[in-house]
Chains A and B, each alone.
Chain A
Amino acid sequence: MSESFALMKLSVLHHRRLLLVLLVTLAIGQAIAATLFVMSGMVHWPGVDLLATGVFCSFFVLLPAAFAGALAFDFSHGSDMNSIESGCSHWLLRAPLATWKIALVPAVLKTVWISAIWLIVGLVMRIGGVVSIPTFAPCFMLSAGVISLSALTWVPLQKSWYRLGGLGLLLILLYALAALVFGAAYAENEAWRAPLGWMGLLASIACHAGAVAGLFSACRRARIQPHGVIPEGVNALTQMKERHSELAARVRFFSSPQLALLWHEFAKRRATLVGVMCWGAMPIVLLFGLFVSVSPVSLFLLFLVFAYVAGFSVVVKRPRIDGGSASTLPIYVLASPFTSARLAWTSLIVSLVMVGVVFSCVLVVYLLWSLWPSNRHEWLQWSAQQAAYVGDPLRTQGVMIEGGDSIGAGVRITLAITFAAGLFFVSRIAAFQWVPLAGRTWFELLVVLVSLALTMAPFSYFLHWFMLQRDWDHVRQSFYESLTWLPSIVILCIVLKLFASLVCSYTLWHKKLVSLPNIVLVHGLWWSLVILAASLVTALLPYPQATWVTCAGATIVVVPLVRILAMPLTLAWNRHR
């Protein structure tokens, strides 16, 4: 086996789990999209744009794959952006391999991955007839971006914030390049469009070459440092500064072990949060706030993108120890006198705070959107429509809707939608926090497969039924008929959920993982949250259909309880093997 091939194999194996999940998801998503594209040519239903649905379906799975391009095929060491040491695998840096090979293999694989995703995007957009986009320049541009990210994480630095600063510069450069590449086709002077397009392509190629050279340079620097991976001088200069830093030397007294654990969990993940905010949230805020106009689709995409970014903020880096026979918890945590429940739920609280912080960036996008007159006009029109819709039943009762009421209704509905979307996505993220706590790869894969099967089975059944339909009125009638079943389904879900929560609570108590008062406390907190959330949404939504019972039913189904109760169980399973 040649060195390059061995390195290639290593880079794939390093993230094989992520790649496997992404490839399976990509395949399923593209298969559904292709089916919808084929169907769009065969059947026509008024009000249903199968082509657009297919494009959405395709993008839904392409987006995480594109994000993953930044992580995959990298010889990462697992260190964070806040670290001064090289992020490249220290073992690999010490291996008798040529530096150019260590740098080139991830560069090539990342380019291939990103290019393949972009080409699928281009193909899907061409089939969907959405808009014509450049083909090759973005491949180089986006690849340059992810390779530069690797270079930034690989280079050992005197100060950790240099890395974040470099990231900011990189983002500015990429924005400028993206403006050139994508904006060339829209230049006012038509004569400039072709030369600008070529300039964009050449600039992208130059950036790509620069990024590869940067990766090589970072790798070379990481290898020749006196300490291997830590920049020269850090042990002398930085330590001297640290010794004289009053801030670093201050003594912190925690009033309780719980506060100490809370501090520990947050301090441990602080760098991840900063990274996610700088890498993910802020670029998306700028992208949506400055380049995307207000519409239901853009709002939905905004929520979706922030759900992904918030999800990334709580991804747990897990060490592999003893081939999976030992706990994946750090030894000093494992041997600490905290109960498994305390460890699990403290981790959840910190995760929720982090997710909340990331998701609250949606409000910043709203602020940026409100700066554009066209967006304000669009939103006011929508508000007036909603006020009119809400007002119609009131008018029949003799109540008049004033102009100011339409803004009020718009604000209330916007807040309600944002809160409900936030609650939904944060709940989804919280609902899967119990899985990585188990510290077992096979278990995580099993949960993913079962979840996919549970989701895909009803969807496949619906798709099969849908493909057999030829009469749109019958489809609509069936849809409205099915809505009559919705309350029964929700009640069934609630009953099942409460039964499962009782079983889980009993198991926690029986295994002596949580005391009875604490189990009651968790249930009480959960019910309080549900009642508060349902009351808030009911108060905000002016629609007559949004009754408290409806909102409470939806909230009970959405907000996880059983899986939160299961967290101490999985953590104890990981801790005491």
Chain B
Amino acid sequence: MSTLVAATLEPSRLARARRWARLNPSLAFGAVAVSLIVLVAVFAPLLAPNPADAGNATHPFVVLQGPSWSHWFGTDQVGRDILTRVMYGARVSPLIAVAVLAVAAVVGVPLGLVAGFFGGVIDDIIMRITDVFLAVPALLLALALVTVLSPTMTSTIVAISVSWWPWYARLVRGEAASIRERRFIESAHALGIPRWRILLRHVLPNAVTPVLVQLSLDFGSVILTASALSFLGLGVQDPVPDWGLMVSEGQIYFTTNWWLVTFPGLAILFCAFAFNILGDGLRDRFDPRQGLGR
């Protein structure tokens, strides 16, 4: 009895973590999976069996070998170890996603904030522009832009960002418009605080949580879009170990050498899945009633 009381009074840190994970399974799984991806990305040079294979090394005698003890994921058309390239791939797509979402938030959040807070003509103008960009199919816009900009990592980032910011403008506008009506904003006005200060100090902080949740939910979609562009050959180019590009290059060997396409594709799936689960968990935690659109 006394041990039981002691256990309930002072649960060990591990037991507390376990209890928390049982109550928030998506959050726990997502956090673990995302940390795993980050760890692999950061420590790829230490973890990967053959770091030179992340670049344009060639090994003519071990071309297209199936999975084995020496090459867990097999080797590709020039003999590079696929496990190594998949690990280094954690430095490409996720990085693109971080950059795209940063640009989208930096452009979309201020526009939405201004539109929602000031309302009127400014609101109408900003939201119509937003609607135009929302109506144009994202991948098509990105494709056209990448064609203009020539395929590099930067142009992939620019192209996807152009079609991503409207979602943030729309989200923040809704938040700002509803916060504007709240009492504490009214009293701030009554105290004579300048409007831009109210906007930055009182409206913005209250709109941050939904933006953070949406950012984590969007991470997976951006990774999918970026790998789709690479798959078409419009993203980063060969020696860069990008997952979408690896699937695309493995395509012609697929009927005889299944591992070339399968493992990089699984990496994309796992990465998108990890971030989506994390985003789901965050939304349940902070924002349970928010819509599930997109």
Asked if A and B are interacting partners, one says no
Interface residues of A, Cβ cutoff 8 Å to B:
none
